[in-house]
Chains A and B, each alone.
Chain A
Amino acid sequence: GESVGLHLPTLSVQEGDNSIINCAYSNSASDYFIWYKQESGKGPQFIIDIRSNMDKRQGQRVTVLLNKTVKHLSLQIAATQPGDSAVYFCAEKAGGGNKLTFGTGTQLKVEL
């Protein structure tokens, strides 16, 4: 089956702390994963991606970890800033197509 979002979990962190946002995916055929950031009233914004032949990828202040064994994806944000407050979605693509399936999403709130 596909991941369908019905609820929006919230993660609250203090400014300067590291954030870890988790995502469980259900399609074992998925081979490409992307993290998006969505601010209120806006479209999703690309953050970082990873292919299934990797288990870790780093960007600027962000790291994505992929565990295919348990079908788990995480996004780590270092030194979280108020501007990081948004909803974060993981998305996956399965082999043979270019459709994206979005995960539930996590609301990240950064407290000063």
Chain B
Amino acid sequence: GAVVSQHPSRVICKSGTSVKIECRSLDFQATTMFWYRQFPKQSLMLMATSNEGSKATYEQGVEKDKFLINHASLTLSTLTVTSAHPEDSSFYICSASLRDRNAEAFFGQGTRLTVV
């Protein structure tokens, strides 16, 4: 399968600072990328869907000004957690696919964010 690389794998930041997480499709052009959040022992919750060259579509309850998503190219999407607070500590996972609804989604390895 295709490879999706997420960076960093772990990050610790201070409250009030911003953190950027990158998601790259290494061997295919991903027209659509998804960002998920996962709390310990819970399921993946979709935060937003981003299509290359257009604004991200956020799920209900997700603050778009707090979780900034940029999908500037067919191989890179970034999630920036702005003014991070301890409650933003979580496991963030991206996935990438072609726009075709039948296309398989390939997942990154996840980013463990800890806000202190």
Report the Cα distance A76→B6, complex, angstroms.
30
Is B107's CB under 8 angstroms from A43's CB?
Answer: yes
Residues of B with C-beta under 8 A to A45: 107
CB distance from B18 to the nearest CB of A (A): 23
Q: How far is the CB of A1 from chain B (nearest CB, A)?
A: 12
Please determine whether A5 and B42 come into contact, CB atoms closer than 8 angstroms. Answer: yes
The complex places the Cα of A31 from the Cα of B16 at a distance, in Å, of 43
Q: Name A6's contact: one of B42, B49, B100, B109 (CB within 8 Å).
A: B42
Interchain nearest-CB distance for A89 vs B (Å): 6
- Taken together as a complex, chains A and B put the C-alpha atoms of A53 and B91 apart, in Å, by 34
1/0 contact string of B94-116 vs chain A (CB within 8 Å)? 01010111111111111010000
Q: How many residues of B contact A (CB 8 A)?
A: 30
- Cβ contact within 8 Å between A98 and B46: no
A-B contact pairs, 25 of them (CB 8 A): A3-B43, A5-B43, A42-B110, A43-B4, A43-B95, A43-B110, A44-B93, A44-B95, A46-B104, A46-B106, A49-B104, A89-B43, A93-B101, A98-B97, A98-B99, A98-B101, A98-B105, A99-B49, A100-B95, A101-B46, A102-B36, A102-B44, A102-B45, A103-B43, A105-B43
Given contacts A43-B95, A89-B44, 8 further A-B contacts (CB under 8 A): A3-B43, A44-B107, A89-B43, A98-B99, A98-B102, A102-B36, A103-B43, A104-B43
Residues of B within 8 A of A (CB): 1, 4, 6, 32, 34, 36, 41-46, 49, 91, 93, 95, 97, 99-110, 112
